[in-house]
Amino acid sequence: MGLTNLEISGFRVFSRTTIAFPTEGITVLVGPNGTGKTSVLEAVGLLGIGRSFRGATKDTMIKNGEDAAVIRGEFEHETRNVLIETTFSRSGRGRTQINRQISRSRAELSEAAPISTFCPGDLDVIQRSPSGRRDMLDDALALLEPRLGASLDEYARALRQRNALLKQLNGRLTSETEVTLEVWDQRLARAGDAIVEGRRTLLSQLTPEINNSYRSLSGEIAETVIETSYEATANGPLLDALTDARRDDVRRASTSVGPHRDDVAFFLNGSDARSQASQGEQRTLALSLRLAIHVAAGKTLGIMPTLLLDDVFSELDPDRSRRLLTELPPGQALLSTASVLPPDIKPSLIIDVAELLS
């Protein structure tokens, strides 16, 4: 299974280009900085994740001088082929289709085009703000469990509506608006409780594989024990926590409890990695987490997701770069780099991205 053909129009530096990919092995995208290596991976990621793994908004990804961007990808499955098309314009209008049918959820995208990503920013996810750790877990949830992908979409919609209502209240809560707020609390709690349970279960499932990956990537002889802990802002059912926080939320005009405020702690030999691990340990742990998610997705889905590796060699030493590539399970991987590949890595295809612009 994998991406066989990609067509990009009006996206980043590309006016129009088409790329064919082998569905097995590593495809390497090479070229100087600024030629569009990461943009190719970003386009592929949009097809399966529904957003930029670089955190960019869609209007900023449209090529200068163009009104809209179009990305089409053909994915080969064991029993069928899937065409995913996404379009977005500067006016804010856009749509995503799977086999010509409108797709409205990240769950549908994840099922049609399972994709794992790893970019340089991920290496600092352990020490950065909780949002990066939450996003990494939620991308994994949407990939591994479509039902929870739908819960993530529902939670995001309910949170936007609840926060909009809180802002409209201007710090004043009436009996009428309290009834409306209770409706959004119930919707938020229903989806939020499912997300928290899914995150906890996922962390439990990932922890053994994180340990295995860490030992392989670090090359350490001494065994490092990694433990994980989910830190929820709600002690018990989310509806109860929202009810207790209602007065404060009205005053602050924002929702203070829920999965959007939770965090994940990682411990190396009993010490909190967020504050006490070295930078090298934090980066190896982040890489181990991504690799564990990728391996878990392959086991759960029965097929390996397409793995996007963006410029990882620029942030990893040669030993970790080599170990990463040798630890990858079979499947399709797309890798961008401006560096020299480790000598023992044999890619299936090398693409000079600068030639795609000519």
| Model confidence at 119: pLDDT above 90 | no
Give yes or no: residues 257 and 141 share one domain. yes
Please give the mean pLDDT across all residues of the chain. Answer: 92
58 and 133 both lie in a single domain: no
Instruction: Work out the percent of the chain whose per-residue pLDDT is above 90.
Output: 67
Domain count, the chain: 2
Whether residues 156 and 266 share a domain: the answer is yes
What's the confidence (pLDDT) of residue 222? 65
Same structural domain for residues 264 and 228? Answer: yes
Q: Write down the pLDDT at residue 221.
A: 58
Supply the range of the domain harboring residue 221.
122-302
Domain boundary among 302, 318, 333: 302
Q: What is the CATH number of the domain that holds 131?
A: 1.20.1050.90
CATH code, domain with 102: 3.40.50.300
Please indicate, yes or no, whether residues 211 and 336 belong to a single structural domain of this protein. no
Give the 3-state secondary structure of the chain. Answer: CEEEEEEEEEECCEEEEEEECCCCEEEEEECCCCCCHHHHHHHHHHHHHCCCCCCCCHHHHECCCCCEEEEEEEEECCCCEEEEEEEEECCCCEEEEECCEECCCHHHHHHHCCEEEECHHHHHCCCCCHHHHHHHHHHHHHHHCHHHHHHHHHHHHHHHHHHHHHHHHCCCCCHHHHHHHHHHHHHHHHHHHHHHHHHHHHHHHHHHHHHHHHHHHHCCCCCCCEEEEEECCCCCCHHHHHHHCHHHHHHHCCCCCCHHHCEEEEEECCEEHHHHCCHHHHHHHHHHHHHHHHHHHHHHHCCCCEEEEECHHHCCCHHHHHHHHHHCCCCEEEEEECCCCCCCCCCCEEEEHHHHHC
Domain identity same for 179 and 95 = no
Q: How many residues does the chain have?
A: 358
d(CA 8, CA 343): 32
Q: Higher model confidence: residue 72 or residue 124?
A: 72
pLDDT for the residue 313: 79
Same domain, 184 and 150: yes
Is 36 in the same domain as 83?
yes
Q: Are 282 and 273 in contact (CB under 8 A)?
A: yes
Same domain flag for 17 and 77: yes
Residue 69 or residue 315, greater confidence? 69
Judge contact between 130 and 229, C-beta under 8 A.
Answer: no
Instruction: Read off the pLDDT of each residue in 334-342 and give the average, rounded to a whole number.
Output: 85
Q: Which of 258, 287, 302 is the last residue of a domain?
A: 302
The mean per-residue pLDDT over the stretch 271-281 comes to 92
Same domain, 19 and 163: no
> Are both 138 and 274 inside the same structural domain?
yes
pLDDT of residue 201: 96
Query: Of 95-104, 228-237, 283-292, 339-348, which range is least confident?
Result: 339-348
Specify the residue for token string 């890798």.
Answer: 335
Q: For residues 242 and 150, state if they share a domain.
A: yes
